[in-house]
Structures are given as structure tokens and as C-alpha cells.
Amino acid sequence: MFNINLITVGKLKESYLREACAEYIKRLGAYCHIKITELPECRLPDTPSEKVIKSALDTEAAAILSAAGSDAVIAMCIEGKMMSSEDFSERLQKFAVEGKSSISIVIGSSYGLSDKVKSAAALRLSMSPMTFPHQLARVMLLEQLYRAMSILGNGKYHK
């Protein structure tokens, strides 16, 4: 059984997003052990310089990589690879075949992820060339994880 750690920078504020996440976490319980690790977002001024942003991302990266430990890391980033739901499920299965049953999936802050996290990632994944709010991305990712696990388990959810 997979151990999945969804590492996010920032907290969910809206109750409807928390409820959606809770529903998918409940459903995923049949397929894997899942936990959510919420890390604090670095506070930045209204118009931060590139240097200030890089420093904040590097600070967040240290916390992210510490939370991931020895897990295989999937970094959610816009320049990542786009996959179908079937391909995503196959990639998760490949992690298992490779002996990597503990996976940390990372959603960064509104400024993205440090190159340190991207370099440490076994997979860079993108949901779309479109930009989504990071809080909504969490719901979408949990849904795709549930869909992938359903595919692997020959469930009826994925049509």
C-alpha cells in the first residue's frame, strides 16, 4: 500500500475546499495511507525583488525537503510533464515496482518551487499550462490521485 504525503506550502482557508479535500482523502483511504503536511508560506512584501523571492523559495525548500525525507518526490510545477490520468496511474505503479512505496507530492507557494525541490524530484508534474490557485490545485491533485488509485484497483470511478 502506498504512503502518500501531500506537502503544501500554505493552508486551505475556504471551508468548501477543505470539505472537498476531506472527501477525497476519505476515498483514498481504501487505496493508500495519505497525510497532508502544511508548511508555512514565507511572508513577502507586496512587491518583492527576485532576490527576496529566491530566498523565500529556498527557505521553503529546506522545509519541504525535510518533510519529504527519503520519499520519492513529485514536484507540481508548470514546466513539469503533463500526463493523462492513465499515464499518472502507470507512473505511480512504476514507483511501486521500483520499491518506492512512499511518495511526497509537493505543491509550492504562489511563487512556485525552488530549483532545489525541482532538482530533487523524481518527477516534475504539471496539471495544465493554465495557472490555478494553489488551494484549488490541492483539490484537483487529490481527485487525480483518487482517480489513479481507482484505475490501478480496477475501480469504476474512472470511465
- pLDDT for 131: 85
Grid look-up 532538482 returns: 119
What mean pLDDT comes out for the span 98-117? 95
- pLDDT for 43: 92
Q: Is the pLDDT of residue 159 over 90?
A: no
Q: Is the pLDDT of residue 1 over 90?
A: no
- Percentage of the chain lying above the pLDDT 90 cut: 89
pLDDT for 45-69, tens place per residue? Answer: 999 999 999 999 999 999 999 999 9
Pairing of strands 102-107, 72-82: parallel
pLDDT for 125-157, tens place per residue? Answer: 999 988 888 899 999 999 999 999 999 999 888
- pLDDT for 134: 86
Q: What are the grid coordinates assigned to 121, written together?
A: 524530484
Domains detected in the chain: 2-152 (3.40.1280.10)
Q: Does residue 109 sit in helix, strand or coil?
A: strand
The partner residues of 35 in beta bridges, in order of sequence, read: 5
Which bin fits 137, alpha (ψ -120 to 50), beta or left (φ > 0)?
A: alpha
pLDDT for 3-14, tens place per residue? Answer: 999 999 999 999
